[in-house]
Chains A and B, each alone.
Chain A
């Protein structure tokens, strides 16, 4: 209960002011395409040079929390996921926006974020020592199987065609191998100089989601007034609360999956949203409605990707190992003030540690309040004609992908992938599994290579990758997941053939 003692520190004028600044700034930066939470936090580091340790961390913690949630704004309204965490949000969120329910989608996404986020921070407060052991339990073989598990999620993410889902995933896995191989340093598939540095994941995300969107709007041509307009209807906040309580299952699954997966160093944050989305879909009686603007999908995805924020800091705060790029940047914020995470932090600087953690708790709530206000504003801006929308999204896509690492090559890659994705989508391929392949490919590869090197030096490949309870558990989940996908494929086949007979 030590943390309660330091709650007062959050509410001193300066600290609270910084918390507000971090939250609002984070929402704006998060909603800007091309700025991942890591970059947003890195941008704020210089400001913390001037501040005291606790103050600097409040700013960074608030920004981290709200950039993750802010990414939902562009994901829902523009179909540009700001970071891998927001991919799952686009799937139902943007479809809701297209149906005129943009305000509702934003409201439930912020509420779900706050619930998940608060739960995640509470886990960080109460279970840190237990969680730290968990985070270390995942070695190379487990991370490899976890990535493979993610790949099998690919197949079922898009239930229309398992084969095309998997094929999209393979294309993504291949795209991920372009560029320098990380361990040997050999060049692979570099057929254009822009690809020399590999495919940047943020630029790819923008291209794969936003550009097909733009071309689809082009394809509709010059339509008369009123038709095909992105309207945002007003939606009462109380309605959003009700919606949230109606979907307790998605909320629970999202929060649980987000907290557990967020813990795993190197993998967690990126796929928490997608895995939670996929699991809620499998457990939902309305699984056919997922992807058509179903609030359950938004709730699962957003609660998961904010629930991951708290646990993702566990390896950093206890073991001094930054488990994610954002945690690494936060580590910098601590080191600047001569504070080392680990026992030093909690024993010698409890005021810093607990003020930081408490401010993240309050930050989640502030973020929710401001988010709901943004949703209200979005409703006021109301109708955006699609000609304006197409041009705005295109402009943002170009600036966003350039600003990731000030590189024209990234813009070219973004555009090429986007145009390619438009045509692929017309032939039944989908962007989400492709992106999942792009994210998981390097993780699977690095852990496979690293694991096999360790295995060769010790007890051999088979015992290393197939032995141990955690490996066996993960393999069992992979097999169950594949079997489920195959079953669903057969079922839809029967279903379609019946439809064909009727037609």
Chain B
């Protein structure tokens, strides 16, 4: 096993262990204690298993999980950023349908292997986005009558 996944595993399981410790601390200190009976039970098992995993990661004994390679990371960052902006801001800020159409189109263009130089591929992307939006509108707004946030238009 190379050093990179080992370090990654240490960070990953370290965060899980930290969460485990926080959960255990909260469970044993918060009131009313009757309501925290069950959390105490599970957090104890949680923290033991998490520390065990962390120790294994530090010793390099981790057997499963490939970690993330540099290329993978470089590839996923732009998409993830678009997705996060879309979910945590645009969906509410611009309205569901507007935000979804924009995010859908950007993601499609980002990860579509076809050339960016040809007009035809852009036309195809716009067409796919339009079809998807029509299906979503028909399904959620018309069939299921879900009232989604609509800030800019429809």
Contact = CB atoms under 8 A, between A and B. Distances in A.
Interface string B113-137: 1100000000000001000100010
Interface string A168-199: 00110110010001011010110000000000
Contacts of A171: 16, 19, 46
B108 A218 contact: no
Given A215-B79, A219-B76, A424 B128 contact: no
Interface string B89-116: 0011000100010011001101111100
B111 A390 contact: yes
Contacts of A177: 38-39, 42
Nearest to B32: A186
Contact of A429 (B56, B65, B72, B100): B65
B62 to A, nearest CB: 7
A388 B128 contact: yes
A426 interface: yes
B18 interface: no
A111 to B, nearest CB: 27
Nearest to B1: A500
A396 B103 CA distance: 12
Contacts of B38: 177, 441, 444-445, 448-449
A235 B152 CA distance: 46
B21 interface: no
Contacts of A35: 144
B83 to A, nearest CB: 6
B26 interface: yes
A412 B35 contact: no
A427 B56 CA distance: 12
A167 B49 CA distance: 6
A167 B67 contact: no
A152 to B, nearest CB: 12
A222 B115 CA distance: 10
Contact of A218 (B65, B111, B144, B149): B111
A356 to B, nearest CB: 25
B35 A188 contact: yes
B30 interface: yes
A337 interface: no
A325 interface: no
Contacts of A441: 38, 42
B78 to A, nearest CB: 8
Contact of B88 (A183, A222, A412): A412
B51 to A, nearest CB: 10
Nearest to A214: B83
B4 interface: no
Contacts of B35: 181, 183-184, 186, 188
A221 B63 contact: no
Contacts of B36: 186, 188
Nearest to B99: A398
B32 A394 contact: no
A26 B66 CA distance: 40
B79 A160 contact: no
A402 B146 contact: yes
Contacts of B53: 163-164, 167
B144 A403 contact: yes
B79 A398 contact: no
Contacts, number: 186
Nearest to B139: A32
A177 B38 CA distance: 8
Contacts of B136: 395-396, 399
A436 to B, nearest CB: 13
Interface residue range, chain A: 35 or more
Nearest to A386: B111
B12 A423 contact: yes
A393 to B, nearest CB: 10
B42 A174 contact: yes
A77 B143 CA distance: 22
Nearest to A43: B144
Contacts of A160: 63-64
A426 B67 contact: yes
A160 B63 CA distance: 8
A141 interface: no
A387 interface: yes
Interface centre among B42, B67, B72, B144 (most CB of A within 10 A): B42
B88 A415 contact: yes
A167 to B, nearest CB: 4
Contact of A223 (B103, B113, B132): B113
Chain B CB count within 10 A is highest, among A386, A423, A448, for A423
A161 interface: yes
Contacts of A387: 107-108, 110-113
Nearest to A402: B148
Contact of B83 (A189, A394, A396): A394
Interface string B41-54: 01101100110110
A282 B66 CA distance: 26
Contacts of A424: 12, 16
Contacts of B64: 160-161, 164, 428
A285 interface: no
A411 interface: yes
Contacts of B23: 174, 189
Contacts of B67: 426-427
Interface string A152-167: 0000000011011011
B27 to A, nearest CB: 8
A396 B92 CA distance: 16
8 contacts: A32-B139, A181-B35, A221-B75, A385-B112, A391-B132, A395-B136, A398-B91, A399-B146
Interface of B: 8-9, 12-13, 16, 19-20, 23, 26, 30, 32, 34-39, 42-43, 45-46, 49-50, 52-53, 56, 62-68, 71-76, 78-80, 83-84, 86-88, 91-92, 96, 100, 103-104, 107-108, 110-114, 128, 132, 136, 139-140, 143-144, 146-149
